[in-house]
Amino acid sequence: MDVNLNGKVALVTGVGPNIGSGLALMLGKYGAKVACNDVRPEVAQATVERLERNGVEAMSIPGDVANEEEVKAYVQRVVDEWGRIDILINCAGIDGGASVLEFEGERWTRQIMVNLSGNFFNTKWVARHMVEQEIKGSIICIISTAGWQGRANSVGYCSSKGGIIQFVRASAMDLAPYGIRINSFTPTATQVDNPDILRAREAAGVRGPMGFPPLPGQSPRENAGGQPVEEFRTGGTADFVAMSPLGELPTPTDYGHVVAWMCSDYARLVTGTDWGVDAGALAKYWPYVPPAEKRGPLPLIKMDVSE
Ligand SMILES: NC(=O)c1ccc[n+]([C@@H]2O[C@H](COP(=O)([O-])OP(=O)(O)OC[C@H]3O[C@@H](n4cnc5c(N)ncnc54)[C@H](O)[C@@H]3O)[C@@H](O)[C@H]2O)c1
C-alpha cells in the first residue's frame, strides 16, 4: 500500500533550492523521473545534481514560465526525451512586492505573468500532451497562505496566488472529461531543509528556521526562501513560529510527502481542490495566540540522503 510514482515523468517549474527543489526531489524519491525547470539555468542544474546525488533520474529544462513559446519548447523536449509527462508542478513564483499605493505597473504585470499566467501556459501545454497521449495525469499549482489572506505590501503576490484558486477550479472542469486532475497546494512560511542551503546558512551565520544567503548565481531579490521580510512587515510584526499552532514551520519535505500522494493513483478522484501543509496556520482563529509551551509535532520523515 505504499505510495509510489514508479514509471511516471514529472515536470517541476521554478526549482529554486527551497520548495521547488524539495518537491522535485520528493517526487523522484517516490519513483518519478523529474524534469527541472527554472528561468536561471544554473539553478535548474543545481537541482538536477541534488536529485542525481539522491539516485533520481533528472534533466534540466531551463526557460521562462511566462513565455508561452519557451514553455511549449521545454514541454516538447521532455516528451521527446522521455516520451511522456504524467505530473506537472507549477511552482515558479516571484514573492515580495509593495503596497497598492506604491507598486509599479511593470512589477505588477511581471508578477501576474509569472505567478498566474505561468500556471496557465504550463498547464495548457502539458495537458494538451496528456490529452493526445491519453494520460490521466496530475497537475498541481503551488499557492501560498498569502493567496488566501491579505498580506501587507504584497498586492501583486496575493492577487496572483488568489487567482490560481479559481484557475484550478475552472481548469478542473475542462480537464475532468479526460481523466486529468488539477489541484492546488498551499505551503506557508517554510523551514529550510535542503542541505546545500543549510550549509550556506551556517557559513553566513543565518539564524532561525527560514531564510538563506544567496547561493552562487542567485540574486538576493529572487532568493526568497526566507522571504524579503522587510517588504511586507512594515507597520507590524510577524513571528511565524510563535503563531504556528503546531509550533514548527513545515519543510519542503513535509510538502513533498503530501504532493506525492496527490500525484499518485490513490488520489484518482481528487480534483479542483486545495491541499495544504501549514501546521494549522490557516485554520487558526485570527486573534488567537497559541501557547508558548507546545509539545510539537512528530519528527520529520527525511528523504534527502546526500547530507
Ligand atoms: N518560501 C515560502 O515561504 C513560500 C510560502 C508559500 C508559498 N511559496 C511559493 O512556493 C514557490 C516556491 O517558493 P520558494 O520559496 O522556493 O521560492 P524561490 O524564490 O526560492 O524559488 C522560486 C524559483 O522560481 C524561479 N522563477 C522565477 N521566475 C521564473 C520564471 N519566469 N520562469 C521560471 N522560473 C522562475 C526562480 O528563479 C526561483 O528559483 C513559489 O511559488 C512561492 O510563491 C513559498
Residue ranges per domain, the chain?
A: 9-276
pLDDT at 207: 75
Class of domain 9-276: alpha beta
Contact indicator for 196, 203 with CB cutoff of 8 Å = no
By alpha-carbon position, which residue is closest to atom 12 of ligand 1?
A: 19
The whole-model pTM stands at 0.94
Which three cell numbers mark 40? 536561471
* Residue 157 known to be catalytic: yes
Please identify which of the residues 30, 157, 178, 255 carries the catalytic annotation.
Answer: 157
Average pLDDT over residues 126-141: 98
Residue 235 Cα to ligand 1 midpoint, Å, equals: 25
Q: 281 phi and psi, to 5 degrees?
A: -60, -50
Q: What is the pLDDT of residues 182-239, one digit of tens each?
A: 999 999 999 999 998 888 888 877 777 776 665 555 444 443 333 444 444 456 777 8
Report the pocket of ligand 1 as residue ranges, CB < 6 Å.
13-14, 16, 18-20, 37-40, 43, 64-66, 91-95, 114, 142, 144, 187-190, 222-225, 227
Q: What is the pLDDT of residues 226-282, one digit of tens each?
A: 344 444 445 677 788 899 999 999 999 999 999 999 999 999 999 999 999 999 999
Contact indicator for 189, 39 with CB cutoff of 8 Å = no
Amino acid letter for position 16: G
Using a pLDDT cut of 90, give the percent of the chain over it.
78
By alpha-carbon position, which residue is closest to atom 25 of ligand 1?
A: 14
Sign, CA dihedral 126-36-67-272, equals positive
Average pLDDT over residues 83-90: 99
pLDDT at 214: 58
**Atom of ligand 1 lying closest to residue 252 CA:** 16
By alpha-carbon position, which residue is closest to atom 15 of ligand 1?
A: 225
